[in-house]
Structure 1
């Protein structure tokens, strides 16, 4: 019998029946809630045709929504790359055997995890110019804020993933003469990234949505251009917000699908072929004597 702790037991017939009933009940409750919201909006005339007509015009998309979407994707892509690099570097730093590396790395991670992202963007845009005697572009204020906050969260995720790798692999790597940097680079970090991929993708989705906080420094991202700009919403903020929310849902869904594809691809690459797995070990042929 395995000594592993059982975290989940398969439900029996009664539990399955109870789960199905609860699923139906909560599904009906959700449908009722959505219908109530729709009816209230309809009573106020929020679904009237003239209110949605501007969003069927090409000028609304080419002049406001698409440029805002491009600015959002540009800031999010830059922040994702820098956050992943920040997370890996500081995760490795926190796992260092030297206290003068691990302690400062831990302090940096804990500090930027504790500071609200909105306050961080605000300080970078309005406070840093006093330190460098020059303005900070809104783009870099948003990107640096996203990098520091999300990179700190990813650093903890990578650190947990690295520690979750079985210790025997590190010991085997050290036994064949690999240095710690090589063990981190070739053994631990790749496996941690693969194991923590769902959490990493979830944090990157959060990063993409957090670009909307750029409105505090007037960064022309999707929310700013598509909802806050009066020429874009034509006075109907609710319709504009629904359109922008639908765009966010589509973009985040595509990011999740990409992550699922990468997860399946890495699992296939890490799995041995069936023919090789099924092949018996070669046996030595003993010549008959005589």
Structure 2
């Protein structure tokens, strides 16, 4: 095995054609991951709170809406956004927007159920105590429920974010030059050493995912310590 192909193309693996072309490679994978993680967290929190506060037909409709995005494959949603929107609305949909949109919707749908489960795990007495203090529903959710439920939700958030990082590799099907795409380009160009190339790509994905998990766990420990100190 020879890893000269890695050193010869290292910059291309990391940033793609940038600065002489669009950003790509591992840098674009990181950018897609940060954007989708942030948007999916916002959507998941919003939909999860809505699930906890709605009842009856509204709750059922929201479950069906979220269930739709949980049920369809990521690659199918990417194709729908990329090919169907231009036909329906006569607009040009950039590839990066397509991937961020698709992954954020699916990630948000999964996280919404994690948020709902975290909120539902708290005893009803927390709500009753807030109402006894004269707080409104939004105030109870913000000041009492969510601070206690967030540590319960965090493992699910981390798992979903790691899954989103790996799912960014599906962007190659619409020509977005993320890490997997540039790796395939290099492999096709040199026509040798595919094992070395994709071992290196796997290592990069591992480093990105492990770093995210380490950072999230560190934040969780600090948050937990802060909550314990506030509770004293």
Q: Distance in 1 between matches of 2:175 and 2:93?
A: 12
Q: Per the alignment, in what secondary structure is the counterpart of residue 257 of structure 1?
A: helix
Kindly report which structure 2 residues correspond to 1:45-84, keeping only aligned pairs within 5 A, or say none: 47=1, 49=2, 52-57=3-8, 60-67=9-16, 68-84=25-41
Matching residue within 85, 95, 112 for 1:155: 112
Q: CA deviation at 1:216?
A: 1.1
1:85 partnered with 2:52 = no
Per-residue CA deviation, residues 130-155 of structure 1 (Å, 9 max, x unaligned), is 12201211001110110111110000
Q: RMSD between aligned alpha carbons? A: 1.9
Matching residue within 175, 178, 200 for 1:243: 200
Rate the CA distance shift 1:144–1:64 in 2: closer, same or farther, 3 A.
Answer: same
Residue segments in structure 2 that go unaligned for 5+ positions in a row? 17-24
Rate the CA distance shift 1:81–1:232 in 2: closer, same or farther, 3 A.
Answer: farther
CA contact (8 A) 1:64 1:232 kept: no
TM-score (ref. length: structure 1): 0.73
Report what 1:31 is aligned to. Answer: none
Q: Distance in 2 between matches of 1:136 and 1:166?
A: 45
Q: Which has the higher contact order (CA 8 A, sep 6+)?
A: 2
Q: Distance in 1 between matches of 2:145 and 2:189?
A: 49
Per-residue CA deviation, residues 103-138 of structure 1 (Å, 9 max, x unaligned), is 332121111001111111111111111122012110
Q: Distance in 1 between matches of 2:132 and 2:50?
A: 23
CA contact (8 A) 1:118 1:213 kept: yes
1:223 partnered with 2:223 = no
Q: CA deviation at 1:66?
A: 3.0
Per-residue CA deviation, residues 147-178 of structure 1 (Å, 9 max, x unaligned), is 11111000000000000112211110111011
TM-score (ref. length: structure 2): 0.90
4+ aligned runs moved over 6 Å, structure 1 = none
CA contact (8 A) 1:54 1:234 kept: no
Q: Per the alignment, in what secondary structure is the counterpart of residue 135 of structure 1?
A: coil
Q: Distance in 1 between matches of 2:161 and 2:137?
A: 29
Q: Per the alignment, in what secondary structure is the counterpart of residue 210 of structure 1?
A: helix
What is the aligned length?
224
Report what 1:114 is aligned to. Answer: 71
Structure with greater helix percent: 2
Q: Per the alignment, in what secondary structure is the counterpart of residue 177 of structure 1?
A: coil
